[in-house]
Chains A and B, each alone.
Chain A
Amino acid sequence: MPVSTDAVAAREALDRWTREIVQWHFDPATGAPFWLEYASRLDWDPRLEVRTYDDLAKFGAFQDDWLRGGPVRRWVPKAYVGRPVSLFETGGSTGVPKSRISVEDFRTDYEQFSETLPDWAFPAGGDWLAIGPTGPRRLRLAVEHLAQHRGGICFMVDLDPRWVIKLIKRRAFDEAERYKQHVIDQALTLLRAHDTIRCLFTTPKLLEALCEKVSLRKIGITGVFCGGTEMTPQFHRFAVEELLEGVYFAPTYGNTLMGLAVHKPVVPEDNYAVIYYPPSPRAMMEVVDPDRPDRVVAYGETGRVRLTTLTKEFFMPRLLERDEAEREPPCERYPWDGVRNVRPFSRFQATVVEGVY
């Protein structure tokens, strides 16, 4: 496949940004204690030897256990000491949750994401309703910030995914259903009481449940930002064809550790494939051979998703996620690699309860 000028420029920008971030995190004046201590045990200097994004291979794979447990302050870069720090946790579906510190990153990520949303669907000044996991999740603050950034106020209905996972594991399906209805009932109350709500954030399953009770279009919703769990092409099609009645649909793939990946605009030839592009250069998603995670697979091939986060608040090179996907070539709008049809990593499926909320 020929490499476009845009792709070359994007790659150069990524390499430059990688050098800047590595300099920052391994500088004793600005870096995080974790990485400074890590560097002290190396027989090479990251600041000298990491010149390109590919040079991050020298670090090997990031161990997600490093993010489980404390002390969490070891992740706060010295440059940010004294600033208000937020702590975000992953869902917890694979045991002790991983945690990540954040100062401004969530705001930056969601402001960048905001640029991809059409104003007709997510109008300036329109209020938002967020239905989904809040608590220690980044979504709690991030969706509210997105609403505020666009001039709106965000109403919230919480769902505790860890409780839902427990219900599913003990096969208490009726109780899980009642809990879901409890969440939806609260959302309906807010939607009916506040006719300024135009924008919605929710998860796929909650979107289905909400649309069983109400026509989003009739109640005034013009845009839906959907994410939080796996989304299949069939769900994507079902949502567009049967749930949304023309309401704009913005599926996303995001997580606490990486940020927010943007969905490629829908074109018929993609047949509702769910294709995401990471917010390069702040984060990258690659698809690698599960048995040789240092090898990126060819375009169209299936592999395990590998995340790299490159911000001044958080440096996370090459984390192997619990997801798999197909590698997607760059597109005009996003001239770097994307991922197609992200789903739980098939080798873990026996142990992970996913997509329950």
Chain B
Amino acid sequence: MLHIPLLRHGVSYRSLDEAHVPHHRTGQPFVAVSQANVGLIRRDLLPSHQAAARRALATLSAEHLLAICQEAADRFLHGTLPIGDDQQTPQDYIEQVSATTGMPYVLARRNMGRIADVLLQMRQIIGGLTRQLGLPVLDTGVGEVAGQVLSFFPRTQALAVVLPSNSPGVHALWTPAVPLKTPLVLKPGSAELWTPFRIAQAFIASGCPVEAFSYYPSDHAGAGEIIRQCGRSMFFGDASSVGIFGGDPRVELHGPGYTKILIGSDQIERWTDHLDLMVASIADNGGRSCVNASGIWVPARGREIAEALASRLAAIVPREADDPEARIAPFTDPRVATWVDNQIEAGLREPGAIDLTAGHRRGPRAVQEHGCTYMLPTIVYCDSPGHPLANREFLFPFASVVEMGPEEMARLPEAMGPTLVVTALTSDRGLLERLIASSLVDRLNVGPIATNQIAWDQPHEGNLFEHLYARRAFQQTAPARVSATGSAA
């Protein structure tokens, strides 16, 4: 059986404790994954070991690291890379991601391209995250913008990332840490083990110091230990698990998105112009991303919009994993599909909501096809934001079309609650000002921009540069000048 080892500062290690991850369709063990014991994690992440890894990475200039990103993009997309004692071609990778997550090949391949794009565009991304400070500041800690001296210092020796299994694209978020000279300590999701390992191998093959990558498949205790031992972390999880770290500034939380499209009163009569945008926002990538819309919030025409969306989404049906037309993924655990279905049915029993996709289906929402359990796309119309289904998010194309009264419109964005992405289709200046001023909105798209259309030079649930670096006051006399292009004189 294929085996994925740990990476201990880049060095492969086969643990005696292995988890066997099944193929989503057959249920048979597909890959053995070494598991890191907590003591091993703690020992590897002792401060002196973290500092050594950072030194190894920081030896290279930011310019050099950007060149490595370019090469890594190519290797990630086209190269044959090590995986344990085996080799992994790009097609192997796609089929392996599909095997343990259920994601169709076509979606896995699209995510692969997206990650490679991020690596290729890393210069622009770093420029966006640092507000064009210039690369030398990452080498010397000192830079100059508009005649003003700026100095930054790293807040941490390593970035811990506790990852999800929903979609490979999410891994693009941590890759800027490499040119930001911060080693990575990765705890992969239990089913999506492939992408972080392949990215790490692509970087290493491109000349990145091996010490920059630690990879520790582990249990919850291991994940917690990784976060405790690193000065800065990114944590991906559901609402209950992210709550453990709420209020800890060292941890950047990535929980449910509750992403929404908001149509203002001034645009609602033109809603048909935005139907394609709404369909794409809900259903692209199988509806598995936090940036997929789970709500369409409108002041009127809600029922008509829901009917139109239901008609369009009903065309999405289960297909084989290798079908190029496949657009949704099965649930790897049928019990989760049953739980989700029960949640939706329980919500529908509350007055004020109706499943408009039900009329387009020939049977239940949860179906068995191709030996797997799928949830068919679902559009629910809710007559008020207070309905239990108005603000839910599930791991398949599901959205509620929520109709608001004038009072609720006036309470926007508070009425929507915390929202990762809001695409605002309105020219209402007052509403836009409230959205811009609100802490409840993380990403704001003004105009017809799909919720899942990401500008990678924009921060996503926090600015990674600001998470990893802090600014200090800095003054210097002429003889001791630290150059923005060289080391201390």
Chain A residues at the B interface, C-beta cutoff of 8 Å: 171, 173-174, 177, 204-205, 208-209, 211-212, 232-235, 237-238, 242-243, 271-272
Contacts and interface: CB of A to CB of B under 8 A. Distances in A.
Contact of B39 (A171, A235, A271): A235
Contact of A271 (B16, B40, B46): B16
Given A173-B224, A173-B228, A177-B228, A234 B16 contact: yes
Contacts of B38: 205, 208
B17 interface: yes
Contacts of A204: 39
A237 B17 CA distance: 11
B16 A208 contact: no
User: Closest 4 interchain pairs by CB?
Assistant: A208-B39, A234-B17, A234-B16, A233-B16
A272 B37 CA distance: 15
A233 B224 contact: no
B244 interface: yes
Contacts of B43: 208, 211-212, 242-243
B42 A208 contact: yes
B224 A238 contact: no
B228 A238 contact: no
Contacts of A272: 16
B15 interface: yes
B42 A238 contact: no
Given A173-B228, A212-B46, A233-B17, A238 B39 contact: yes
Interface residues of B, number: 14
A12 B15 CA distance: 41
B244 A238 contact: no
A212 B17 contact: no
Interface string B39-52: 11011001000000
B297 to A, nearest CB: 34
Residue from B16, B40, B224 having most chain A Cβ neighbours under 10 A: B16
B35 interface: yes
A211 B228 CA distance: 18
A177 B221 CA distance: 12
The B interface is mostly helix, strand or loop, or mixed, namely helix
Given A209-B42, A212-B43, 7 more contacts: A204-B39, A205-B39, A232-B17, A234-B15, A234-B37, A238-B37, A242-B43
A234 B35 contact: yes
Interface in B185-244: 224, 228, 244
B314 to A, nearest CB: 40
Contacts of A235: 37, 39
Contacts of B228: 173-174, 177
Nearest to A237: B16
B251 to A, nearest CB: 12
A173 B38 CA distance: 14
Contacts of A233: 16-17
Nearest to B34: A234
B46 A238 contact: no
A204 B221 CA distance: 15
Contact of B244 (A171, A177, A212, A234): A171
20 contacts: A171-B244, A173-B228, A204-B39, A208-B38, A208-B42, A208-B43, A212-B42, A232-B37, A233-B17, A234-B15, A234-B16, A234-B17, A234-B35, A235-B39, A237-B16, A238-B39, A238-B40, A242-B40, A271-B16, A272-B16
A242 B15 CA distance: 13
Contacts of A177: 228
Question: Which of B35, B42, B244: most chain A Cβ within 10 A?
Answer: B42
Interface string B5-46: 000000000011100000000000000000101111011001
Contacts of B35: 234
Contacts of B37: 232, 234-235, 238
Contacts of A234: 15-17, 35, 37, 40
A174 B251 CA distance: 14
Contacts of B244: 171
Contacts of A238: 37, 39-40
Contacts of A237: 16
Nearest to B35: A234
Contacts of A174: 228
Nearest to B248: A174
B400 to A, nearest CB: 32
Contacts of B224: 173
A234 B36 CA distance: 9
Nearest to A239: B39
Nearest to A213: B46
Which of B15, B39, B224 is the most central at the interface, judged by chain A CB atoms within 10 Å of its CB? B39
A233 B17 CA distance: 7
A126 to B, nearest CB: 26
A275 to B, nearest CB: 14
B34 to A, nearest CB: 9
A251 B15 CA distance: 19
